[in-house]
Structure 1
Amino acid sequence: MWTLMEARPDLKGKLPYGNLNTILYALDKWQTWKFTKKHKLPFAETIRADQANNPGKMKDFVKNVKFPLIAKPVRGFASKGVFYIRSWKDVETAADFDNYIFQEYLGDPANLKNYFNKMDSLTPLFAHTPNISHFSCHTIISPTGEISPVFISKNEHDSGVTTGFRKIQNSELENLTLNYARAIFAEGGAGPLTVQFRQNREGLWKAQEINLRTNGNTFPRLMFGQDDLGLIMKYFLPEYDFPVYSPKEDMTDDLVCKTLFCNRIDIDSIIGLKENQKWQQNK
């Protein structure tokens, strides 16, 4: 995308990106860390895996954040090649991986105890960490610095796939996301921004990843009332007066069913289905 922008100067302000540096802040996880440190934004503590060859530096890092750590590729995607680091032996193994980082685990390690115990015995065919979720905060930054309302969702996962998506309200996460958006714009960035947050073991909100793109949740956000594509068209091609969808009612307590037919289902019905009560009544 950046190559195309460089070759076509007339596209400046027409594509939902800012400049190469801000694109790299999302693409390259080490650049993400340096960006968040520069702007004093809360982010999971991070160290390059090759720094594990420096025993003093790595020891201080582990003493600060404690096991488990997360090991991930500097330029990875979709959780591929991501590992839990639970011991110094794991540190030594991952230190030899090409272009990796170690990162603070955000969450309560106690929730991982049973999962780790299973990994120490028979390894299941499809391994997944239970009860894992993060809070995805999404907004659009216009080329002039206007920032759209922040859409916050709680995303639940199973085997790396999003199985639950619910819109929530959280003023603290909203303000943190706006700080990220302002910092991106200050460096020449624009377009969609998603910041993934979790609470660390002390209960402090920290980001674990940022993205500068639309994603698989673009459609459910539309169903909940945030029109990402409409906002991008409005901000980057204002001369076309592209319509932006706006809901007539608050849909915070709705859930979206992603099937061939687009339906919204209220949360009480879902709870009832889970408890197998309303399902039996309607049978």
Structure 2
Amino acid sequence: MKKTIRVGITSIGSGVGQSVINSCRLSELPLYVVGLGHNPMAFGQYDCDDYDTLPSIYSDEYIDQLLYLCKKHHIEILIPGLDDELYNISKNIEKFKSNGITPIVSSTKMIELCRDKVKMSRVLNHFTNSFVISHDKESLVEAYNNNEINFPLIAKPRSGFASRGLLVIRSVDDFDIINNDHVVQELAIPHKEDINYSSFVSNLEKGLVSQVSEVSVQIVVSKDGRIIGKCATLNKLNNGVPIEIIPFENASVWEDLGKIIPYFLKIGLRGPINIQGRMTEHGPKWFEMNARFTGITGLRAMMGFNEVDAMVRDAYDINSTDTEIELNNKRIGMRQVTDRTVTFGRNADLDNLVTKTGFYPWKNSKKSVLVTGATGFLGNHLVRKLIDTENVETVICLLRNENKAKLMYGNHDKVKMVSDSDIEQGLLNFGSIDVLIHAALGSVYEEEAIAKELAYTSWILNMAKKFHIPSIINISSQLVYGASNPAVWNEQDPVSPKSPYALANWASELMVSSIHQDNVQTSTTSLRLSSLIGPDKGMGMDNLPYPLSKETIKVEEIKGSSQCPDFLVVRDAADAIISLLNMDSSKWKPIYNVRSGVPLNRDEESFQIN
């Protein structure tokens, strides 16, 4: 794979441009992002690696200047941010390709179909009757005279965007407010069982069109015309901008769109396309199409559906497989001031609202758990218990020794192994993870090894933070308390790490707690374990308590030490972690001491969580 891939993004001050930038930042590919726009105060430019100024997209010199800047910055992938750029770039696509630049755009024929709603209605209703009938003023009058019109209708400016300038046409008396710049469409009213039906009808009587219960479908097509991802969400909008999205599945949606997708592919659909509509009494009704990324592309990426990453991979044939990217339907998206995802159980009112939509697998779905240190002493026992845990669907083992892991877990269908090489290639989809259990710090005591493990900890926790992984369990040590050893440590006791290893554990705890401080929707906890023992190759015979006795554990004086160590059976430590998984994570405490409870004087194996 190339050292870096240089991606140019236009109109970075727009919601779409910012969303594409966010998606690039969520990709594990080595992307160097160059922002292109004409507003020096564009929010998105300050999230880019570099920035340059373009003239207005309506300028005669726009294409030549865009091409010049692409060559200047050695841009390899070009992603337009606005509708009006798509057609112009598509029309001049060979100029870019001949200079080694790949624009992510469809054919001009496909873009023309999206831009002309009257044409879209006439052409696509040959395949299915689910596209709302659209008229210009002349054809509207003709249809009315032929008794083909059912009121109310909606009129919108041809050049409008974000649903601005909408007019409700209740009768023929309102025809006078329609001009030649309007396109007039039949209105897609939510079905009567929709939770927003009553408010929609009530507002319609006042001449208002509520932007609720809109179904948004995003489809991503490879350069060779293969669908590499598709998803649907139920959206609420504010001035045409989605602010709340709920994963949505309905067989009739895909059955209906399946009738027209082959035609789209035939006329040159490549890259993304967004199709908008509503579920009505007569099934899906579609009223808008845009062959581009959208303002919630970045939010979808946080939910595992990174279509920008998928298109860059497709352009460079990086890990191209038949596997489609998928939306994590256990996440709900909110886009107010910034992007955020929320998991089930964080807010009862939200849970209620989503449940009423009739599609809520997130409530009942099993967890996807990412485990670091999966081949270590504790990790080995933990993974085996996770495999047997009912509410765990997938155990993703993030490891550096794949052969060792295969010997431990074989080819268990519940276990997915991810290697360093996989990570470098961006094959770990953090958006699909529900719980991170970080147990990689392990029993390393050499300073150089500790430094490497701490850097690894920083990386994995940063990824968890970026993707809003809902729950994080960090495995720490009671060595953070220091050298002295009272009978039982208390979570409120002051920490005083005396060794590099203890200090590294304390640092990992601070990193984890800061994630929760930045985003209270992420539940975090650190488990401070006492020394682990148990029948396992990971338990060294040089470690206590084996020097005391290789057959039994007895209370004896440890010469040269004033400490009276507490030992915890490793499988009980794993049980403690499982018990946390079965709890409501929002109720977790920041710190738990996990120990046997009676230092070096224990006939039975047990653990405590205080």
Question: TM-score, structure 2 length as denominator?
Answer: 0.38
**Once superposed, what is the RMSD of the aligned Cα atoms?**
3.4
Q: Do 1:193 and 1:213's aligned partners in 2 also have CA atoms closer than 8 Å?
A: yes
- Picking from 270, 279, 282, the partner of 1:190 is 270
Secondary structure of the equivalent of 1:199?
strand
- Picking from 134, 145, 150, the partner of 1:66 is 150
- The one-letter code of the counterpart of 1:207 is W
Q: CA deviation at 1:234?
A: 2.1
Specify the alignment match of 2:328 in structure 1: 251
Q: Do 1:14 and 1:237's aligned partners in 2 also have CA atoms closer than 8 Å?
A: no
Q: Does 1:101 align with 2:178?
A: no
Corresponding residue pairs, total: 259
2-structure distance, mates of 1:49, 1:6: 37
1-structure distance, mates of 2:325, 2:133: 38
Q: Do 1:52 and 1:92's aligned partners in 2 also have CA atoms closer than 8 Å?
A: no
Secondary structure of the equivalent of 2:261?
helix
Q: CA deviation at 1:45?
A: 1.2
1-structure distance, mates of 2:335, 2:277: 24
Question: TM-score, structure 1 length as denominator?
Answer: 0.77
- The one-letter code of the counterpart of 1:141 is V
2-structure distance, mates of 1:2, 1:175: 30
Q: Do 1:5 and 1:12's aligned partners in 2 also have CA atoms closer than 8 Å?
A: no
- The one-letter code of the counterpart of 2:231 is F
Specify the alignment match of 1:123 in structure 2: none
Secondary structure of the equivalent of 1:102?
strand
- The one-letter code of the counterpart of 1:265 is V
Q: Do 2:215 and 2:279's aligned partners in 1 also have CA atoms closer than 8 Å?
A: no
**% same residue:** 19
Q: CA deviation at 1:237?
A: 2.9
Q: Deviations over 1:3-47 (max 9, x none)?
A: 431434537993222321111111222232233134446200122
Quick one: structure 1 residues 180 and 99, their matched pair in 2 at CA, closer, same or farther if it must change by over 3 Å? same
- The one-letter code of the counterpart of 2:270 is A
- Picking from 79, 88, 110, the partner of 2:163 is 79
Q: CA deviation at 1:52?
A: 3.9
- Picking from 123, 130, 135, the partner of 2:215 is 135
Q: Does 1:264 align with 2:328?
A: no
Quick one: structure 1 residues 81 and 260, their matched pair in 2 at CA, closer, same or farther if it must change by over 3 Å? closer
Q: CA deviation at 1:253?
A: 2.7
Specify the alignment match of 1:7 in structure 2: 95
- The one-letter code of the counterpart of 1:30 is V
Q: CA deviation at 1:130?
A: 4.3
Q: CA deviation at 1:246?
A: 6.6
Secondary structure of the equivalent of 1:269?
coil
1-structure distance, mates of 2:231, 2:151: 32
Q: CA deviation at 1:233?
A: 1.0
More helix by share: 1
Q: CA deviation at 1:230?
A: 1.1
Quick one: structure 1 residues 29 and 13, their matched pair in 2 at CA, closer, same or farther if it must change by over 3 Å? farther
- The one-letter code of the counterpart of 1:7 is K
Segment drifting more, 21-30 vs 102-111: 102-111
Q: CA deviation at 1:179?
A: 3.5
Q: Do 1:15 and 1:236's aligned partners in 2 also have CA atoms closer than 8 Å?
A: no
- Picking from 301, 305, 319, the partner of 1:222 is 301
2-structure distance, mates of 1:11, 1:189: 22
2-structure distance, mates of 1:53, 1:257: 42
- The one-letter code of the counterpart of 1:51 is S
2-structure distance, mates of 1:262, 1:207: 26
Q: Map 1:151-230; keep pairs closer than 5 Å.
A: 151-200=231-280, 202-230=281-309
2-structure distance, mates of 1:85, 1:130: 15
Structure with larger RCO (C-alpha < 8 A, sep 6+):
1
Specify the alignment match of 1:278 in structure 2: none
1-structure distance, mates of 2:188, 2:171: 17
2-structure distance, mates of 1:264, 1:73: 33
Quick one: structure 1 residues 265 and 21, their matched pair in 2 at CA, closer, same or farther if it must change by over 3 Å? same
- The one-letter code of the counterpart of 1:58 is Y
Q: Do 1:134 and 1:156's aligned partners in 2 also have CA atoms closer than 8 Å?
A: yes
Segment drifting more, 260-269 vs 156-165: 260-269
> Highest CA radius of gyration, 1 or 2?
2
Q: Do 2:189 and 2:278's aligned partners in 1 also have CA atoms closer than 8 Å?
A: yes
Q: Deviations over 1:49-89 (max 9, x none)?
A: 222443xx3233xx445111011223432112221111111
- The one-letter code of the counterpart of 1:101 is V
- The one-letter code of the counterpart of 1:17 is V
Runs of 5+ in structure 1 lacking a partner?
Answer: 120-127, 276-280
Quick one: structure 1 residues 13 and 179, their matched pair in 2 at CA, closer, same or farther if it must change by over 3 Å? farther
